[in-house]
Amino acid sequence: MPPETPLLDKIAAPEDLRALSDDALALLAGDLRAELISAVSETGGHLGAGLGVVELTVALHAVFETPAVKLVWDVSHQAYPHKILTGRRDRIRTLRQRGGLSGFTRRDESPFDPFGAAHAGTSVSAALGFVLAGQEAVAVIGDGSLSAGMAMEALNHAGTAGHRLLVILNDNGRSIDTPTGALAELLQDRSPASFFEALGFAYRGPLDGHDMPALLTALRAAKGAEGPLLLHVRTRKGHGFPPAEASEDKWHGVSKFDAATGRRDGSGGRSATDVFAETLIAAAEQDRAIHAVTAAMPSGTGLSAFGARFPERMHDVGIAEQHAVTFAAGLAAGGMKPFCALYSTFLQRGYDQVVHDVALQGLPVRFAIDRAGLVGADGPSHAGAYDIGFLAALPGIVVMAAADEAELARMVVTAAGHDAGPIAFRYPRGALGGAAPEAAPQPLEIGKGRVLRKGRDIAILSFGARLQAAEAACEALAADGISVTLADARFAKPLDTALIKELACAHPVLVTLEDGAPGGFGAAVAAFLSGEGVFDRGLIFRMLTLPDVFQAHGTPEEMYAEARLDASGLAETLRPLAAG
C-alpha cells in the first residue's frame, strides 16, 4: 500500500516547490522520503544514498530554477528523489526494470537530467563545462567520489577558471564502504576550509544536510556568490529509515524488501565473487607475497573477508582505479603478488595504467575482473562488455574467463603462480554455477582449452560464462538430430591454436561464443584462422557476441535473451547453420 503523501501529491514539477513556504518544504521532505522507501521496497535499487539527500534535493529544486540551472549529480545513485520531483513519480515503480526508469540520471530520460552519470568523479568536470558554455550549473558530489583523481583535476581547473560554479559536497562519511585515506580524515576530523580555499574555492559549511531552514538559507546565499563556491553539507546515508541507519552498508543497494519491517529478500546464495574470495584467501594462507587491491569496493569484490584475515595485505585505495592499477604495479615490481580486484566497468577507468604501467613493463599484476558480461538492472553504464577486447590487445598479457565455479578457482590459483607478466581472469555477477571447486584447485596450463562434448555438425568454442547456456542449446539441437562439439576456450590470450585448428578442420561450422562486445575473443579467433587459410577451405564461421549497442537495463536473463545468447537464442541461431 503506497503511503499517504498529501503534499507530494500536489507536486507535478519543481516549479511547484517554489510556491511553498519553507515550513511546507520541510514537511514535503517527509512525504518524499516515504515515497522513496515505498517505491524501492517494490523495485530494489540504491536506497541509502537517496535517503540521505531528500532534504537537499527538495531545497535545490526549490531555490534553483531547474532545468535552466543544470543540476549535475555525481554517480547519481542518489537521484531517485530527484526523479520523483521532476515529473517521473508516475514511473518510479518501474525503476531499473525492463522499459522503466534508469537507476541513474540519463539525458534521454528527462530535461532535468542534463548529464548522464553512473561512475564516480564526473560531476564537477561536467558542471564546469556547462558554466564555460554560458549556462548556470550546480554539481553535487559525495565525499567518496571526491577521492577520484578526476574530481581533483576538475576542482583544480574550476578554482582558477574565474567563473561562478557551485559545488555541493554531500559528505555522509560513506562510499559503498567506509571511505579511506587522508581526504576522508580531513573532512571528518579537521577544518577542510583551507584545503578548498587553496584550490581557489570559497568555502561555506559544514552544515546539517537534514536541516531544511539551514539548507535553504545557504543555497539562497550561494545564488549570489561570485566565482567558485564549495558548500559542505553533512548528511547521513539511510537517514529516516531505521533499518538502513542501523545497517553497516546503510542499505546502499538493496533487493526488494518489506517497507514496514525492513526485512529484505534473500541474497540468492553463493556467488562467483564468493568463490574468488575464498580461493584467494586459501592461496594467501600459503603465500605471504599475495596482496589484494581494490578501489572502494571491498565488499563488492569479496575482499572484505580477505581484509579481515590479512589486514596488512589488504589495500582499499578509494575511488581511484588509476592509482589502484599503478599501485599494484609497484607492489609487483617490489616482489609481491598483487591481485587487483575491480569490476569490469571500473577497470576501464584504469586502462592507460594497465597499458603503460603494467603491460609495457611486463609486471605480474593479477587482475580479478568482477561483473564481467551483463549486470542487469544497473544497465549499460555498468556492463562488463569491453574488457576482453581491450585487454587481449596488449602484448604479453594472459586473459582467462571462468565457465563455472571450479574453473574460477583454478584461474585464481593459476594467477597466483604466474610471474611471467600480467594475467587477468573474468567472471560474472551473481552465481556462476556448474562444477564446484575442488578441495585443492590445480593451476591450468596457460593457453589450453578443453572439449566437453564431441559431435560432427557444428563446433562451439565458448569463452566464459555462456558455457552453460551453450550446453543447454546443444541438448536442444541434439533432439533435432544436430550433433555439436562443445569446447571451453578458457583463454582469449594466448589462444589455444591447436584446439582451434582441430575444431575448424573437423567440422563444417565453427562458432565462437562470448559475453563481450564485438572485437574480443571471436575476432581474435577469426584473425588466427584467416592467417591459417582455413576460410579458403569453405569453413562456415560465426562470432556470437553481445550486440554492438548499449543495451537498456533489465534482468540479466532479459538482456541475454535480447542478445540471443540464452539457450533458446543460441539454438535458433545454430539450427540454420547445421543445414548448410
Q: What cell numbers appear for 488 in the block?
A: 571451453
**Amino acid identity at 114:** P
Q: What cell numbers appear for 293 in the block?
A: 587491491
**Amino acid identity at 338:** P
Give the relative orientation of helices 54-63 and 22-43 as an angle to the nearest 10 degrees. 130
Q: Hunting for cell 552519470 — which residue is that?
A: 117
Q: DSSP of 146-200, one letter per residue? A: GGSHHHHHHHHHHHHH-S-EEEEEEE-S-SSS---SHHHHHHHHS--HHHHHHTT
**3-class secondary structure for 466-515?**
CHHHHHHHHHHHHHCCCCEEEEECCEEECCCHHHHHHHHHHCCEEEEEEC
Residue 200 · residue 228 · CB < 8 Å:
yes
Active site residue 349: yes
Rounded to an integer, what is the distance from CA 315 to the centroid of its chain? 19
Active site residue 321: yes
Residue 86 · residue 12 · CB < 8 Å:
no
Residue whose C-alpha is closest to residue 178's, from 311, 296, 312: 296
**How many helices (H) and strands (E) are present in the chain, helices listed first?**
23, 19
d(CA 345, CA 544): 21
Residue whose C-alpha is closest to residue 134's, from 108, 160, 164, 113: 164
Strand partners, 511: 460, 542
- Give the ranges where 44-95 is alpha helix by DSSP (H): 48-52, 54-63, 80-83
Q: Hunting for cell 582558477 — which residue is that?
A: 160
Q: Hunting for cell 555439436 — which residue is that?
A: 484
Residue 575 · residue 477 · CB < 8 Å:
yes
Cα 190 to Cα 140, 176, 198, 318: the distances in Å are: 22, 23, 15, 19
Active site residue 237: yes
Q: Hunting for cell 600459503 — which residue is that?
A: 286
**Amino acid identity at 166:** L
Q: Which of 349, 366, 466, 490 is catalytic?
A: 349
d(CA 59, CA 389): 45
Residues contacting 302, CB < 8 A, separation 6+: 273, 274, 276, 277, 280, 341, 370
d(CA 563, CA 105): 24
**Amino acid identity at 393:** A
Q: Which of 89, 96, 237, 371 is catalytic?
A: 237
Residue whose C-alpha is closest to residue 280's, from 308, 302, 311, 312: 302
Strand partners, 314: 292
Residue whose C-alpha is closest to residue 386's, from 424, 421, 414: 424
**Amino acid identity at 238:** G
Q: Which of 35, 55, 278, 321 is catalytic?
A: 321
**Amino acid identity at 529:** L
Active site residues: 237, 321, 349
